[in-house]
């Protein structure tokens, strides 16, 4: 969707929209529209939309009002996002190709005006590449938005938010693609193309290189697949030369059958999004690079496909990780932690990180605990946890802190190896986090985000349609703004 700033929009545009505050008088509108809005109980509540028609200069115009909530509301920025997103949800497939959007009636700041535009664009993302017989009335039509009345500074604020939108859309595309399109090598190729010419540095390891480094856990997960496993690191040096980098690590299981511990068939098609953590890291890095973030940030993604085959690892196998610790693999469907433990260790060996945050669709137990409202957060550092929680609230990618503790370690102690990859049924998300913590070096601030319930949605949200949500991109971008750049 193209967003243009103008003082004089084209005269032939039929669809005109205005952002209004809750309870505000609808000044300057046709009396019939005002009466219609009142009859429809339109109050300007956040995300509420009213549509009517009026004759303007002898031409019938389609008029829309989008509610931005209370002018001094505690969630003003999110309310403004909902206003923009609601307009897109209403008119994306309306046959209208162009909209004029008036931002001058709601007392917006540059940041809240940019939030309206961010919601407008994010809600317009669709993945229709393979829908060859989509009915005309289901095809997106809205292509251009002419913005008028924007407060001073909005264009600069929007440039930053547009970079964020680009990152979210990139992550959504990666997550939404089927596993025959996005697999480890093609994930790398897509990233190489997206980051070409940006100034970011890309490092890629293949299986032979990872085996030479001793990554027996990560490589072991992919042994049953014909697709070669990969590890990709994207480095952005936007901060001071001596500043330690912030490192994000993403789980990238491009398809997860469960391996020999095969998943039940119903719903297995959803496992194309088991690389949602890696998708979020890639999207966040693209957002940061696009807006030239003034921070040193590295995104590391371990990429595998977990398939059953004669070469696949078996329940009961023991693998040696890059750290030297041995793992008894009791369940090959608990593969994400095997990917992450080697990726985390490699990242610590390769970079002197100021802090490490990993993201993974790691456990179904997290969905049982938190549903689809929060990502689970585990951290060994209270300050880092508070910073991530604040970033989650500001971005809308909410987190809920979960416990870690030595008492949980006994649940994953193995009788024949250093550690086993699963514990008992209870505390499943916690024992997964305890597993990962064993691969974090002493003194390194670290957080693990289990986002299993957040990367895919079976119903539309405020700023996404059904499908890939792009969860995590906004969280990481906000965290960098607040902490690494702040």
The pLDDT tens digits for 46-89 are 999 999 998 887 889 999 999 999 999 999 999 999 999 999 99
Residue 137: predicted pLDDT: 87
Domain residue ranges in the chain = 2-148, 162-484
CA–CA distance, 247 with 340 (Å, rounded to integer)? 13
Select which of 263, 294, 393, 438 is catalytic.
263
Residues 6+ apart with CB under 8 A from 219: 207, 210, 211, 229, 342
Q: Tell me what pLDDT residue 307 has.
A: 98
**Cβ pair 452, 363 in contact under 8 A:** yes
pTM of the model: 0.97
Query: Where would I find the H helices in 200-295?
Result: 207-212, 216-221, 276-290
Render each residue's pLDDT in the chain as its tens digit; 486 residues: 999 999 999 999 999 999 999 999 998 888 999 999 999 999 999 999 999 998 887 889 999 999 999 999 999 999 999 999 999 999 999 999 999 999 999 999 999 999 999 999 999 999 999 999 999 889 999 999 999 999 999 999 999 999 999 999 999 999 999 999 999 999 999 999 999 999 999 999 999 999 999 999 999 999 999 999 999 999 999 999 999 999 999 999 999 999 999 999 999 999 999 999 999 999 999 999 999 999 999 999 999 999 999 999 999 999 999 999 999 999 999 999 999 999 999 999 999 999 999 999 999 999 999 999 999 999 999 999 999 999 999 999 999 999 999 999 999 999 999 999 999 999 999 999 999 999 999 999 999 999 999 999 999 999 999 999 999 999 999 999 999 998
CATH architecture under which domain 162-484 falls:
3-Layer(aba) Sandwich (3.40)
Do strands 375-379 and 296-306 pair parallel, antiparallel, or not at all (unpaired)? unpaired
Query: Of 18, 337, 420, 474, which residue is the catalytic one?
Result: 337
> Catalytic residue at 337?
yes
- Tell me whether residue 263 is one of the annotated catalytic residues: yes
* Fold (topology level) of 2-148: 3.40.220
CB 38 within 8 Å of CB 29:
no
Tell me the two tokens of residue 23: 């309870």
Structure confidence at residue 455 (pLDDT): 98
C-alpha to C-alpha distance for 299 and 302, rounded to whole angstroms? 10
| Torsion angle in degrees (nearest 10) through CA of 439, 441, 444, 448 | 10
Tens of pLDDT, residue by residue over 263-276, are 999 999 999 999 99
Per DSSP, the three-state class of 375 is: strand
pLDDT of residue 10: 92
Confidence (pLDDT) at 56: 82
DSSP state of 242: T
pLDDT tens across 395-436, in order? 999 999 999 999 999 999 999 999 999 999 999 999 999 999
pLDDT score for 370: 98
Predicted local distance difference test score (pLDDT) of residue 184? 98
């Amino acid at each position: 969707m193209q967003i243009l700033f103008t003082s004089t929009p084209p005269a032939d545009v039929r669809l005109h929209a205005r952002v209004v505050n809750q309870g505000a008088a609808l000044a300057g509108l046709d009396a019939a529209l005002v009466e219609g809005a009142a009859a429809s109980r339109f109050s300007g509540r956040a995300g509420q939309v009213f549509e009517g028609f009026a004759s303007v200069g002898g031409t019938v115009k389609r008029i829309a009002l989008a509610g931005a909530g209370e002018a001094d509301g505690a969630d003003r920025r999110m309310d403004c996002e909902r206003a923009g997103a609601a307009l897109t949800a209403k008119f994306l497939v309306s046959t209208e190709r162009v909209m004029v959007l008036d931002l001058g009636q709601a007392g917006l700041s540059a940041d809240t005006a940019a939030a309206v535009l961010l919601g407008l664009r994010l809600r317009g993302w669709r993945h229709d590449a393979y829908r060859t017989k989509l009915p005309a009335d289901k095809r997106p039509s809205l292509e251009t938005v002419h913005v008028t009345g924007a407060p001073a500074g909005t264009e600069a604020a929007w440039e930053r938010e547009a970079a964020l939108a680009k990152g979210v859309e990139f992550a959504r595309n990666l997550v939404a693609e089927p596993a025959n399109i996005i697999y480890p090598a093609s994930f790398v190729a897509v990233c190489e193309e997206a980051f070409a010419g940006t100034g970011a540095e890309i490092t890629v390891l293949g299986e032979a290189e990872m085996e030479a480094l001793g990554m027996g856990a990560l490589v072991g997960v992919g042994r049953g697949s014909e697709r070669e496993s990969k590890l990709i690191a994207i480095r952005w040096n936007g901060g001071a030369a001596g500043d330690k980098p912030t490192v994000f690590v993403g789980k990238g299981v491009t398809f997860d059958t469960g391996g020999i511990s095969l998943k039940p068939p119903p719903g297995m098609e959803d496992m194309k999004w088991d690389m949602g953590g890696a998708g979020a890291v890639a999207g966040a890095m693209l957002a940061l690079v696009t807006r030239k973030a003034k921070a040193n940030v590295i995104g590391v993604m371990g990429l595998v496909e977990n398939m059953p085959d004669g070469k696949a690892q078996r329940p009961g196998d023991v693998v040696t990780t890059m750290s030297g610790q041995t793992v008894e693999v009791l369940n090959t469907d608990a593969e994400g932690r095997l990917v992450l433990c080697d990726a985390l260790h490699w990242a610590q060996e390769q970079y002197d990180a100021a802090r490490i945050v990993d993201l993974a669709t790691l456990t179904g137990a997290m969905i049982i605990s938190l549903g689809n409202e929060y990502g689970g957060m585990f951290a060994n550092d209270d300050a880092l946890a508070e910073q991530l929680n604040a970033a989650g609230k500001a971005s809308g990618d909410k987190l809920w802190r979960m416990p870690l503790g030595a008492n949980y370690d006994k649940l994953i102690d193995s009788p024949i190896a250093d550690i086993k990859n699963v514990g008992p049924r209870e505390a499943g998300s916690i024992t997964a986090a305890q597993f990962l913590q064993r691969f974090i070096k002493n003194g390194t601030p670290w957080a693990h985000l289990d986002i299993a319930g957040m990367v895919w949605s079976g119903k539309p949200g405020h700023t996404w349609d059904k499908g890939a949500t792009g969860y995590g991109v906004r969280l990481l971008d906000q965290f960098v703004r607040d902490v690494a750049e702040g």
